Amino acid sequence: MINNRQQSGFTLVELLISIVLVVILFVSFGTFFINYMTLYYGLQSDSTNAIEMTQEIERMASVLRGLTNITSATPNSLTAYAYFSPNDTFVSLINYYVNASGNEVMATVTPMTGNPPDGTPISSEATTYTIISHYYQPSGKSLFTYYDSAQDVLSQPITNQELISSIGINLSEPATHNANGQQLSTEVTLRNRIASS
């Protein structure tokens, strides 16, 4: 005959303690895992945005470096004649600007029938591109900064675009772990300017 006193097992209190410990471990691991995945996806998004900014600032710099004339220059927009594509026969009228919502950098490209002053814009063939889809403008920063030949910043409004010898491009996008976002700037020296007659 088996003595019941010699049988061992979990009491209700021991079972409850075990369950509580398992729940605590599970919640701790789950919280750590969720925080890690949130951090990972945030950093991955920041990295993707940084790559996008790098590509676009290089493209904008390439276009602006070869511009032939500037028609309008404000802190958040620039209109100029330039070759938008290396295969273009004539320059296009290109307008870079921040959209009305302030969250995208756009470019409207209007082909020309010929180079200025002979050519005219073909308005029906104008195309608008999104350059930066998650634009973020930090306080005190503008999309463009304009410099004269002495590298002094030109004050707005610029009434004589011939004074512009280089252009600073300032792109920025939100960042997961930085309230000021990710910022990227470059300065483009204008080399193909055609003096106005």
Q: Which residue has the higher pLDDT, 28 or 125?
A: 125
Number of separate domains in the chain: 1
Is the pLDDT at 3 greater than 60? The verdict is: no
Give CA angle at 69 (173, 185), nearest 5°: 20
Distance, first Cα to last Cα, the chain: 118
pLDDT score for 124: 96
* Closest among 150, 145, 142, 178 to 42, alpha carbons compared: 178
- Asked if residue 55 belongs to a domain, the reply is yes
- Residues spanned by the domain of 110: 30-189
Within-domain flag for 6: no
Q: Using pLDDT thresholds of 50, 70 and 90, give the confidence band for residue 122.
A: very high
Q: Residue 40 falls within a domain, yes or no?
A: yes
133-171, pLDDT tens digit by residue?
889 888 888 999 999 999 999 999 998 999 999 999 999
Sheet holding 92-98, edge to edge: 69-74, 77-82, 92-98, 105-111, 127-132
Judge whether 108 lies within some domain.
yes
- Kindly state whether residue 75 falls inside one of the protein's structural domains: yes
Q: What is the pLDDT of residues 69-78, one digit of tens each?
A: 999 999 999 9
> Which residue matches tokens 């600007």?
97
| 18 part of a folded domain | no
Q: How confident is the model at residue 4 (pLDDT cuts 50, 70, 90)?
A: low
pLDDT in tens, 85-115: 888 899 999 999 999 999 999 999 999 999 9
* Predicted confidence (pLDDT) at residue 60 exceeds the cutoff of 70: yes
The answer to the question of residue 5 being in a domain is no
pLDDT value at residue 197: 38
Global pTM reads 0.77
In a domain, 14, yes or no: no
CB 135: neighbour CB atoms within 10 A?
22
pLDDT, tens digit, 9 for 90 and up, residues 11-43? 888 888 888 888 888 888 888 888 878 777 877
